[in-house]
Amino acid sequence: MLNTTVINKLAQLPGIRRRRVRIWAAVVLAIIVLLGIQAAAPQWQVMPNFADRLGAGVILAVFLTALACEYIDSSLGMGYGTTLTPLLLLAGFEPLQIVPCVLFSEFVTGISAAVMHHRDGNIDLLGDRRVRTTLILLSALSIVGAVAAVTLAISIPKFWLTAIISVIILSVGVTTLATIRRQLKYRRGHLVALGAVAAFNKGLSGGGYGPLVTAGQVVSGMSPKHAVAITSLAEALPCFVGLSAYMLIYGRIDWLLAVPLTAGAILSVPVATLTVKHLPENVMRASVGTVTCLLGVLAFVKLLI
């Protein structure tokens, strides 16, 4: 249903946006073909030797995974780090190799997604006072939450923290689904509370920010399109702070992993923002609610096993 809606809407795009989609498809296809040829026939050296350590096939897999995860994240405001980090761990990458690269790519794509959302009319970052207020609140809370997480994490059992946060995520998802057909009144107090919890969770575990902030904004009365765009930009700040900390402590980043991650993620943005623009509000709210509920259930499952 969702895929059919997206395809139909993209087919009706005005000329300039159709050109954007065609250019995007050509660039992505070219990268896939070049990396695919290099992986299948390494002796041909159709690309520089930068891929020797990981292999062109691994780089292609990282690129495509980042492309898919960020498309979901930029379309629904959640899922990039939460999905990508476990996949990279399963692929054999080390945590200290993964986290700085994910933070770097999230920082770059968060800013890019916000700019593209603004350009495509999903949000008015300059003219909408409510949007600016929400963005400032969430950005400030991201710093406060990170500090609080470091301060309190040593005194509160992680099991109970994770359980509480899982309950909140699931509750927000259910509330989002239950209010699909209702026009909710904007409530700054709800937004502050959920934003603080989300920022705390981000500082504690490195993930879970998007589901709470995006669905929390919808429950607090924000438009789903505004919520997705605001989350993209608000999440860039804690990513930059986290990346800076890693660089100060470890002094390096694995660019061989960071480049395909960032390239895949940033190439998803132009199509993701068009998806947001042309999806009906009720479809977006249902999608945000469903994915939030799913992530809440998965958090419970992970906690129990």
pTM reported for the whole predicted model: 0.74
31-35, 206-210, 213-217: least confidently modelled range: 206-210
**159-173, pLDDT tens digit by residue?**
776 676 677 677 767
Q: What is the pLDDT of residue 1?
A: 45
Q: Residue 148 pLDDT more than 70?
A: no
Whole-angstrom Cα distance, residue 119 to residue 53? 39
**244-292, pLDDT tens digit by residue?**
877 887 778 888 889 999 999 999 998 888 888 877 777 777 777 787 7
Q: What is the pLDDT of residue 209?
A: 73
Can you read off the two tokens belonging to residue 160? Answer: 């109970």
Which letter, b or e, does each residue of 49-75 get, where b requires 16 or more Cβ atoms within 10 Å of its Cβ? Answer: eebeebebebbbbbbbbbbbbbbbbbb
Q: What is the pLDDT of residue 204?
A: 58
**Mean pLDDT in residue range 217-234:** 81
Q: What is the pLDDT of residue 266?
A: 93
Q: What is the pLDDT of residue 13?
A: 52
Q: 């399109």: which residue's tokens?
A: 225
87-96, 205-214, 265-274, 285-294: least confidently modelled range: 205-214
**104-143, pLDDT tens digit by residue?**
998 899 889 888 888 888 888 788 888 888 888 887 777 6
Nearest Cα neighbor of 288 from 228, 221, 222, 229 is 228
